[in-house]
Structure 1
Amino acid sequence: MARGPFSGVLAPVATPFTRDLQIDTARFTAFAHDLLKAGCHGLVPFGTTGEGPSLSVEERRGLLAALTGSGIPGERLMVGVGTCSLDTTVRLTCDALDAGAGGVLLLPPFFFKKIDDDGLAAYVDALIAQVNDPRLQIYLYHIPPHAGIGWSPALVERLAQTHPDTVVGVKDSGGDFAYTRDVLTRLPDFGAFIGTERQLGDVLDAGGVGTITTTANANPAGLRRAFDQWRGTQGQALMDAAGAYRKTVEGFPTVPGIKALIAHERGDPEWARVRPPLTDLAGEQRDRLLQRVGELEALAPAPKPA
């Protein structure tokens, strides 16, 4: 069974928009480069934080071309795919492979509720058959709080055994670590990512490979230090600091909050804009978020370069 090409800290890259709600490609590619320079092992465009469901096939295709055209290696991209249309998901997956992506992050067909494992298995089986490309590496995106459905541990095991060279990992954003523990008990060599760094130490100890977390957009260096030094003498302190950052951000709407932090960090208010139906973080909320994050940084400032 393949373990998958990714490990470490991956950022589900936020997507900037212009005043007329078009994608700001220049800001996007510059930010992607900066995330890698700051320590992210890889990037996940078009995920939840990237407002992926709000982006068209053509917009995604253009952004992928911009990323790879700007010099970002395709193998460092785990591209968000997965729609309610099998045909559209096949197209998005083929586009990712054409861009040289190392893998795709597959949402279930989220509009359809009360779907059993057989139905979801049929969806994945058909996707793999229609893409028909040995390069395909699928990470299952388990996020039932948003999708309304998820990939059960039994189904994950079934898919990994049916497609051992293709279904190679999972991102668990369900909020209950028992899910990830169950998956790794069934599949000890599986490429399991956790969706919050508050459980990063747990997933690494259980045999998982890392985290794909929204706060990697705003705290990439802190997360990289926590990952690299987890088993060192400062590992717990670094993990606690990363967890405190995440806990603070969780008190605010996720995507508007992260974009407010990016706008503040980069001194660029254009970054704060989200695409409807999401709404920008209100001024009072934004100020409170920045104050609380600033207090955390004042208590635990980042180490200075040697």
Structure 2
Amino acid sequence: MPDIAPSPGRDDPLSLAGVVPPTVTAFEADGTLDEAGTAAHARFVVDGGVDGVFPLGTNGEFPLLSGDERERVVRAVVDEVGDEVPVIAGVGAPGTKQTVSHARRAADAGADGLVVVTPYYFPLDDEAAVAHYRRVVEAVDLPVYVYHIPSKTGNSLSLSALSEIAALDGLAGLKDSSKDVPWLGQAIDDNPDLTFLVGSDSLLKPGLDVGCTGMVSAVANVFPELVVDLYEAYDDGDRERATELQSRVYDVRSALKRGPYMAGVKAALSLRNVDFDVGSLREPLRGMDDADREALEADLQDLDLL
């Protein structure tokens, strides 16, 4: 349990806290799933000191994977690190029936918890959102965490809808990537029994300040030790050091955002010369070209991270 950092909510049986990277899905050169590479990346971040792993989040490219592939990802990660840290698996889909199917398969594969993004493409009102989460928590016997990322799903949760969802048996917490700090602060105040995870590297320390217990950090996919140091400094009461490390995370985040969407994390992993290969992104996403890769390398060298 944390010493000074916020404590997990009472409704969270996993007591999630600290650094929980949204681990990547590795692919072979022909675009097929690479289970060994996916497991190796999970091992890399766990060896870097993180407190849990979140396969099949945005960085895991979950919308581009089939149901079979998703189950194989969860099983590979659980087999590799499931005895050491909690594995919370993303199971979101546009429809409720699909989400329930993914949730059951992730549970069968050994996940400790499930992360359920709000349904996307079609707009949802509060009643539909609450009904969706009710169906999921009733279908599985694992803690469920809401994934709130309106910029990608097109659906924001109202504070009143969240409070209704929070009252469901089995609802354990929320990962917020809205970057709406006033919304997040009030959500935490309204639902003190939930665990809240901040989902943007731009708000790691501010997320802790407002009451989040954990940080879902893409930067931690490449430099887990940096984000672990930030959390530990905060939990030790060294706010000045935590602020300095947040500033460093801003610089790394800016470097990783070069080039095509989400290409920076996998490119930076290859630049770290790790002993595994996660490949490129699955189409239609694309990796960095040579110029962007060289610029990223220069940025990371300037930051003394290579």
TM-score normalised to structure 1 length: 0.89
Which of 216, 221, 224 is the matching residue for 1:212?
A: 216
The alpha-carbon distance between structure 1 residues 7 and 57, as it changes in their structure 2 partners (threshold 3 A), is same
Query: What CA distance in whole angstroms lies between the structure 2 residues aligned with 1:45 and 1:160?
Result: 23
Cα shift readout 1:210-246 (whole Å, capped 9, x = no counterpart): 2112111111000000001112252322232223322
Q: Map of 1:40-55 to 2, 5 A cutoff?
A: 40-55=50-65
Q: Map of 1:23-62 to 2, 5 A cutoff?
A: 23-62=33-72
Which of 210, 226, 229 is the matching residue for 1:225?
A: 229
Structure 2 residue runs without a partner (length 5+): 1-9
Query: What CA distance in whole angstroms lies between the structure 2 residues aligned with 1:246 and 1:142?
Result: 20
Cα shift readout 1:51-104 (whole Å, capped 9, x = no counterpart): 011111101112222223335338611100111232221121112222332211
The amino acid across from 1:209 in the alignment is: T
Q: 1:304 matched to which residue of 2?
A: none
1:143 maps to 2:149 = yes
The alpha-carbon distance between structure 1 residues 244 and 213, as it changes in their structure 2 partners (threshold 3 A), is same
Q: 1:264 matched to which residue of 2?
A: 271
1:122 maps to 2:131 = yes
- 8 Å CA contact retained: 1:45, 1:80: yes
Q: Map of 1:64-213 to 2, 5 A cutoff?
A: 64-70=74-80, 72-73=82-83, 76-113=86-123, 115-129=124-138, 131=139, 133=140, 135-161=141-167, 163=168, 165-213=169-217
Query: What CA distance in whole angstroms lies between the structure 1 residues aligned with 2:127 and 2:89?
Result: 25
Number of aligned pairs? 293
**Which portions of structure 1, spanning 4 or more consecutive aligned residues, are displaced by more than 3 angstroms?**
250-254, 267-272
The alpha-carbon distance between structure 1 residues 248 and 176, as it changes in their structure 2 partners (threshold 3 A), is farther
SS at match of 2:105: helix
Among all aligned residue pairs of Structure 1 and Structure 2, give the percentage whose two residues are the same amino acid: 27
1:14 maps to 2:24 = yes
The alpha-carbon distance between structure 1 residues 126 and 74, as it changes in their structure 2 partners (threshold 3 A), is farther
The alpha-carbon distance between structure 1 residues 58 and 272, as it changes in their structure 2 partners (threshold 3 A), is closer
The amino acid across from 1:280 in the alignment is: G
SS at match of 2:225: helix
The alpha-carbon distance between structure 1 residues 186 and 8, as it changes in their structure 2 partners (threshold 3 A), is same
Moved more, 38-47 or 259-268: 259-268
SS at match of 2:20: strand
Query: What CA distance in whole angstroms lies between the structure 1 residues aligned with 2:152 and 2:84?
Result: 28
Structure 1 residue runs without a partner (length 5+): 302-306
The amino acid across from 2:11 in the alignment is: A
SS at match of 1:245: helix
Shift of 1:26: 1.2
The alpha-carbon distance between structure 1 residues 89 and 25, as it changes in their structure 2 partners (threshold 3 A), is same
The amino acid across from 2:300 in the alignment is: V
Which of 283, 288, 294 is the matching residue for 2:295?
A: 288
The alpha-carbon distance between structure 1 residues 72 and 136, as it changes in their structure 2 partners (threshold 3 A), is closer
Query: What CA distance in whole angstroms lies between the structure 1 residues aligned with 2:119 and 2:92?
Result: 7
Moved more, 267-276 or 234-243: 267-276
Query: What CA distance in whole angstroms lies between the structure 1 residues aligned with 2:274 and 2:290?
Result: 16
Query: What CA distance in whole angstroms lies between the structure 1 residues aligned with 2:91 and 2:156?
Result: 15
Query: What CA distance in whole angstroms lies between the structure 1 residues aligned with 2:78 and 2:42?
Result: 11
